[in-house]
Chains A and B, each alone.
Chain A
Amino acid sequence: MTAIERTADLRGLQTWLQSGLIGPQPIAADEADQILAPSARLTGSQRWSIYQRAYSSRLLKCMAEQFPALNHALGEDLFADFAREFLVAYPSESYTLYELGRRFPGFLEERRPDRDAPDGSREPWIDFMVDLARFERQLFVLFDAPGHEGNPFAKPETPDERLVLQPCFALGSYRFPVAAYYHEVRIGKDPAYPSAEHSQVALVRTDYSTHTYRVTGFQHALLQILTRGLNVADALRVLGADLNLSGPEIQKFWTGTRGRWIAAGFFIPSG
């Protein structure tokens, strides 16, 4: 089928143009010149190539802005290579650019060259890259997620039975200290590639700023239970049962944590 036949209706024309824009191959110049008018200075295909150049540059720039720490870690060229491949595999399907990077961490994982290697023999720097992308995506989501600003947060006197997590909250568990790396980049440093080290963080947005808190395994376990929607009193009971801990042991842990988490805006009063 010739270009003219393929583009005889608007649907065909748009499908053909788009394939050369977001697909891996540009449309053929001789075909473009049959459809697109020349100007006094450029052929039809040269004119269309303005769109092709801009498409890639435009979205690569957006990807770099959504993953600034990963862009720093990989360097602009390597990051752009990954992002370019990603955009071919997963072109945007949303009206909003906020969704552009949603599948990027998963893409990095699925395209890793050592994905079939047994655990323990995979390249650690790829794990770092994937986890850093996951962390950045989570931060990006929390930035504009529904939050609790303008409404009352829990106070020290709020009983445990009424303490529930605030809506703009997320937990992260990573194979590298990606949050520390991210915040070093944020303040303009050039941190070294970190060694593997299990890290767990809580992300909490208050007053439209997203705060990163490192949490212990014990704290992470409690927060994980709380993300199911339980109040603190119930979550502590579940945690005690899960870990086979006595009431006093649980209370001792909780007493040392409660005030800091309330002050940090982890909780809102239920009911």
Chain B
Amino acid sequence: MAPAVARERSTLTIDIGSFAADVAALPRLGLGLGLRGTHFDHILTERPDVEWFEAISENFMDSGGRPRYVLDQVAEQYPVVLHGVSLSIGSTDPLNREYLAKLKALADAVTPAWVSDHLCWTGVLGANSHDLLPIPLTEKTLHHVAERVRRVQDFLERPLILENPSTYVTFIESTIDEPDFLRALSDETGCGLLLDVNNVYVSCFNADLDPVGYIESFPCDRVVQMHVAGHEHQGTHIIDTHDRPVVPEVWELYRLAWQRTDGASTLLEWDGHIPSFEECHAELLKARRYMGGQFNAGRSHDVTKSGHESLSTPVDFLVPNVMESAVSE
């Protein structure tokens, strides 16, 4: 556990130990789904029996239209968490104060159970690639990221929950394994962790690592939330596509992660070729089958045969279908 280092900030005393305590006290929400525009009508009219929703922060922080209206309605009826894709905590650009202010305002209004983002950078020199790019994992980058996490947490006045990203490259200069890096980051800042089980599977295959070993060495006591999602196996590498059901191998890893995290809140991400709400929900509920029993690693990879490489980290679901709501008079 991180030492309770108190640091002064104008009129407020921020205590890293208190963030760690806050993380430890966060609730177990059960099984949740990503809040997607294509499901808005269904959610508002049917009030489906889902335990919680995860909203993409950037899609709502500037919204004066229907997305924000829907989020407000959903937040009245369900627990909600905010999940960001543009914090860029690993970037060497200055932290975006405007972004942080809007994130804080959104969090103050929606009162999410927590606010999360990714261990990544999205751009430098003012640009945004809208991808979740990896950083080398070294003592130096650990110090860099930890300092930024502390500043973000001070600003937001709440702990940040950081997710292991899916990665396609590793750096020759890296000296720390990702689980150890995240443990040290949590130790230094009090931040919580989001364990994306599919990302573990994807990144480990792409880097020739053992996903079971990854989970076993992960600081599971800091895990607040888990993600599961579908991916595409290309044979030479795996793409994190979020556009299909979760593969059995990832569900098996989830079984292990569920045990080691003591049942952390679990969320299904489905962001490309999004099917009906019922289909997404049915996929999510498969998680129940993996909440007990013995881990079984004996599965084979289902390699795509199309030769086509699907999109990693799809973001087009973040773009609303404006044409749908346009009316000619």
Contacts and interface: CB of A to CB of B under 8 A. Distances in A.
Nearest to B319: A65
A50 B312 contact: yes
B164 to A, nearest CB: 17
A66 B316 CA distance: 10
A253 interface: no
Given A11-B124, A143-B65, A149-B69, A92 B325 contact: no
A136 B141 CA distance: 42
A55 B129 contact: yes
A165 B318 CA distance: 30
B249 to A, nearest CB: 18
A264 interface: yes
A223 B206 CA distance: 58
Contacts of B313: 54, 58
Contacts of A11: 92, 124
Contacts of A17: 133
B64 A144 contact: yes
Contacts of A35: 171-173
A10, A36, A91, A93 — most chain B CB neighbours (10 Å): A10
A15 B88 CA distance: 14
Contact of A66 (B96, B126, B319): B319
Interface string A14-26: 1101100110000
Contacts of B239: 50, 54
Interface residues of A, number: 69
A182 B133 contact: no
Contact of B131 (A14, A46, A54, A65): A54
Interface residues of B, number: 64
Contact of B124 (A18, A65, A66, A100): A18
Contacts of B124: 11, 14-15, 18
Contacts of B127: 18, 22, 91-93
Contacts of A139: 322, 326
Given A58-B131, A58-B313, A213 B329 contact: yes
Given A10-B136, A37-B171, A51-B169, A183 B65 contact: no
Nearest to B57: A95
Given A18-B123, A50-B237, A92-B128, A36 B316 contact: no
A48 interface: yes
A44 B237 CA distance: 12
Main secondary structure of the interface of A (DSSP, over half): helix
A97 B66 contact: no
Contact of B168 (A51, A144, A149, A182): A51
A21 B125 CA distance: 13
A269 interface: no
Contacts of A271: none
B328 A61 contact: no
Interface in B164-192: 168-174
B130 A59 contact: yes
Contacts of B68: 144
A140 B169 contact: no
14 contacts: A13-B171, A18-B123, A21-B131, A39-B208, A51-B169, A51-B312, A58-B131, A62-B316, A95-B128, A97-B58, A100-B319, A144-B66, A205-B65, A212-B327
Given A136-B322, A179-B328, 14 more contacts: A14-B121, A15-B125, A35-B171, A35-B172, A41-B235, A41-B237, A42-B236, A91-B127, A92-B127, A139-B322, A144-B66, A144-B68, A147-B64, A168-B65
